[in-house]
């Protein structure tokens, strides 16, 4: 199922996992920007020596790419969370990671099926924290990849459209 919405200057889309690399969608659309990786396979990631030599660095708790260009591969493992910035984020930036909340979504609770195990009471406060964090950080794009979906939030419509285009058909999502 594809879900969409908007908040202030941001649009968002949540799609089933596509067969294509997420980085192959993000990089061409954000040439010259930097990707800050907050979560890689549910945890922190540090650049190896080869990545440091290629311009990757650490800012706060994030591994940050050099300016994006076609030959840069962004590490992907699932349960990844990325912020795309036009410039380096501030060293004091210490964001909360949301992708590790397995059922996290930006959809309104009223649009979700009943969760008989936990309910959805926990979701609206977490969504509010997410939007506050996004307004403060002002990324161009946010990407979260869970084991079942990709959530993309962007100020740019072409980014949202690109992810809509790679969304698998509903019967091809797993």
Q: What is the mean pLDDT of residues 110-129?
A: 86
Length of the chain: 174
Q: In what order do the strands lie in the sheet with 57-59?
A: 3-7, 10-16, 149-154, 141-145, 80-85, 34-39, 62-64, 57-59
The number of folded domains in the chain is: 1
Q: Which residues contact 165 (CB under 8 A, 6 or more apart)?
A: none
The model's confidence at residue 129, banded by pLDDT at 50, 70 and 90, is very high
Is residue 174 in some structural domain? no
**In 34-156, which residue ranges form alpha helices assigned H by DSSP?**
49-53, 123-137
For 135, other C-beta atoms within 10 Å of its C-beta total 12
Give the residue carrying structure tokens 């596509």: 18
Is residue 173 in some structural domain? no
Is residue 143 in some structural domain? yes
b/e map 137-148, b = 16+ CB within 10 Å: eebbbbbbbbee
pLDDT of 131 above 50: yes
Is residue 92 in some structural domain? yes
Range of the domain at 148: 3-168
Give the residue carrying structure tokens 């509903």: 170
Q: What is the mean pLDDT of residues 85-90?
A: 91
Is residue 59 in some structural domain? yes
Is residue 88 in some structural domain? yes
pLDDT tens for 25-80 read 999 999 999 999 999 999 999 999 999 999 999 999 999 999 999 999 999 999 99
pLDDT of 92 above 90: no
CA distance 14 to 90: 28
Mean pLDDT of all residues belonging to the chain: 92
């Amino acid at each position: 199922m594809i879900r969409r919405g908007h908040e202030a200057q941001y649009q968002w889309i949540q799609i089933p996992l596509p067969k294509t690399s997420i980085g192959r969608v993000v990089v061409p659309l954000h040439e010259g920007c930097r990707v800050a990786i907050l979560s890689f396979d549910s945890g922190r990631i540090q650049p190896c020596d080869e990545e440091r030599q290629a311009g990757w660095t650490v800012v706060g708790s994030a591994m940050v790419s050099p300016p994006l260009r076609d030959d840069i591969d962004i590490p992907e493992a699932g349960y990844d969370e990325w912020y795309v910035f036009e410039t380096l984020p501030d060293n004091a930036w210490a964001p909360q990671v949301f992708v590790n909340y397995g059922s996290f979504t930006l959809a309104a609770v009223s649009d979700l099926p009943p969760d008989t195990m936990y309910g959805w009471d926990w979701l609206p406060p977490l969504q509010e924290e997410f939007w506050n964090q996004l307004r403060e950080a002002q990324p161009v794009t946010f990407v979260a990849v869970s084991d079942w979906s990709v959530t993309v939030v962007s100020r740019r419509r072409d980014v949202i459209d690109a992810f809509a285009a790679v969304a698998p058909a509903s019967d091809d999502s797993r």
